[in-house]
Amino acid sequence: MLKTFKLGGVHPPENKISANAKIEVLPLPKSVFIPVAQHIGAPAIPVVNKGDVVKVGQIIAKSSSFVSTNIHSPVSGKVKKVDVATDSSGYTRQGIFIDVEGDEWLEEIDRDETLKTDFDFDAKTIIQKIQDAGIVGLGGATFPTHVKLVPPVGMKAEVLLINGVECEPYLTSDHRLMLEKPEEIMVGTKILMKALNVEKAFIGIENNKPDAIQLLTSKASKYPGIGIVPLKVKYPQGGEKQLIKAVTGKEVPSGGLPIAVGAVVSNVGTAFAVYEAVQKNKPLFERVVTVTGKGVKKPSNFKVRLGTPTTELIDAAGGLPEDTGKIISGGPMMGKALATPDVPVTKGTSGILILAESEAKRREYIECIRCGRCVSVCPMGLEPYLLMTVSEKHLFDRAENERVLDCIECGSCSYTCPSNRPLLDYIRYGKAKVGQIVRSRKK
């Protein structure tokens, strides 16, 4: 029997239409805009000025605190300006504009594609390299990876979980990466194991990707300590806490981090980035992005330099369909609609999903009929209908007691609601407010 998490979950149509499209390298854009806030934590501080000439891989914005990361130039060329522009947050943010000239890489980056399996670094060096390379969680949450690798005092990691679940419908970037760079991911996992000083690692993959499971299982024999765990398809299995529950059977306590049960979770994309950073000295300046949608002419997976405008990705996938209703950055469940397609690809962009007007439109919502479906699908065991009501009425103390902060914002409740109620909208609002209150209490 295949493993999965117990509580809740939904089964949205998978629609993995780009699963067979090989990863293509997108041609270099003419100019890029690189926001300095691409990760959770403090924004990086720009260290280049207008007119500076930069090479690929050069640091252009420095990490400003422990929970922050460096940002490297994804292209070579001249810095046009350091200014504000709209990014995927829907607000203007500071960033660096670079006009692309040629493609000149820093010399220390090894551009050779051959696999390099051996490494001889201690944990500290590895973590330093990861920090320098500006690696963040590429699953979408963009939490700086080096922070995860340093467990809080008194806690110890016992197991590393690599997240190859990709439970979001439509998205296939992790799937393609597993098929095309299996050994690199394995080596990356080994490096992360060394950094954490753990003996065991598991790569969790849902069984709607049998080819990836088969390929990785065949390679796993060469890498002792790494196990491949096929999982039953269920959304949101890619959630950190759900994956831990599915693979190890342990439950992360309310309000706790995965490290509380001795687990550290990283995405396969992150493992690949770690491989490149440690073995090839290559900082994180490109990633795989799925461009997909039912109306898209050529659903594709592109290897994209960060900062590339979304419009160029859409053009490369056959252009914007006429009946487009929404362009979503990320998947249909957790992604975010973009107000304009001019926003750049950032470290957290896992996919660009184009929905037709008819699919994209939210339906009018009506009163709650107390069917309790949202309660039964909530993977965190919360009561979404209640959290929505208390957030709507601004009863934030009640929301806190009902554990609104445990919400992982997976959207299963809104997806399943027969009254089309915007449950997650309100819960997210309540969560943000309660978070503010809790933080101000600590001060």
Partner 1 sequence: MSITIIYTIATLSVIGTSAAVILYFVAQKFKVYEDPRIDQVEQSLPGANCGGCGFAGCRAFADTCVKAENLAGLNCPVGGNETMGKVADILGLVAEKKDPRTAFIRCNGTCDHRPKTSQFDGASTCAIAASVYGGETDCQWGCLGYGDCFDVCEFDAIELRAHLGVPLIIDDKCVACGKCVDACPKNLIELRKRNPKDRKVVVACRNKDKGAVARKACDVACIGCGKCEKECKFDAITIENNLAFIDSDKCKLCRKCVSVCPTNSIIELNFPPRKIVTEEKEECTTEK
CB of 296 to partner 1, least distance (A): 20
Closer to partner 1 by CB, 91 or 221: give it: 91
Residue 436 interacts with partner 1 (CB under 8 A): yes or no: no
Closer to partner 1 by CB, 38 or 414: give it: 414
Contacts of 415 (CB under 8 A, 6+ apart): 10, 12, 333, 377
CB of 392 to partner 1, least distance (A): 8
CB of 343 to partner 1, least distance (A): 10
* Stretch of residues binding partner 1 (CB under 8 A), selected from 89-97, 109-117, 124-132, 220-228: 89-97
Contacts of 26 (CB under 8 A, 6+ apart): 302, 303, 304, 305, 308, 312, 313, 316
Residue 420 interacts with partner 1 (CB under 8 A): yes or no: no
Residue 321 interacts with partner 1 (CB under 8 A): yes or no: no
Q: Which of 105, 119, 121, 429 binds partner 1 (CB under 8 A)?
A: 429
Q: How many angstroms separate the CA atoms of 411 and 258, rounded?
A: 21
Residue 102 interacts with partner 1 (CB under 8 A): yes or no: no
Burial level of 260, CB count in 10 A (0-12/13-18/19+)?
Answer: middle
Of 208, 136, 166, give the one whose Cα is nearest residue 330: 166
Residue 92 interacts with partner 1 (CB under 8 A): yes or no: yes
Of 8, 7, 16, 32, give the one whose Cα is nearest residue 305: 32
Do 379 and 5 meet the contact criterion of CB atoms below 8 Å apart?
yes
Which H helix or E strand runs over 269? helix 268-280
Residue 322 interacts with partner 1 (CB under 8 A): yes or no: no
Q: Which residue has the tokens 């390379």?
A: 133
CB of 277 to partner 1, least distance (A): 33
Contacts of 161 (CB under 8 A, 6+ apart): 201, 202, 203, 204, 243, 244, 247, 248, 263, 264, 265, 266
CB of 411 to partner 1, least distance (A): 12
Q: Which of 89, 207, 401, 436 binds partner 1 (CB under 8 A)?
A: 89
Residues 353-382 vs partner 1: string with x where CB under 8 A?
A: --------xx--------------------
CB of 82 to partner 1, least distance (A): 14
Closer to partner 1 by CB, 175 or 421: give it: 421
Q: How many residues bind partner 1 (CB under 8 A)?
A: 16
Q: How many angstroms separate the CA atoms of 178 and 234, rounded?
A: 19
Residue 324 interacts with partner 1 (CB under 8 A): yes or no: no
Residue 91 interacts with partner 1 (CB under 8 A): yes or no: yes
Query: In 253-379, at which residue ranges do the beta strands (DSSP E only) sit?
Result: 263-267, 286-292, 300-305, 324-329, 336-337, 351-356
Give the SS3 label for residue 5: coil
CB of 5 to partner 1, least distance (A): 28
CB of 190 to partner 1, least distance (A): 40
User: What DSSP assignment string belongs to 90-155?
Assistant: SSEEEEEEEEE-S-PBPTTS----S--------HHHHHHHHHHTT-B-TTTT--BHHHHTSPPTT-
Closer to partner 1 by CB, 183 or 409: give it: 409
CB of 180 to partner 1, least distance (A): 34
Binding to partner 1 in span 327-346, by CB under 8 A: 336, 339-340
Q: Which of 64, 311, 425, 435 binds partner 1 (CB under 8 A)?
A: 425
Exposure pattern of 226-247 as b/e (b: 16+ CB <10 Å)? Answer: bbbbbbebbbbbbbbbbbbbbb
Closer to partner 1 by CB, 1 or 91: give it: 91
Residue 416 interacts with partner 1 (CB under 8 A): yes or no: no
> Contact positions toward partner 1, by CB under 8 A?
86, 89-92, 336, 339-340, 361-362, 422, 425-426, 428-429, 432
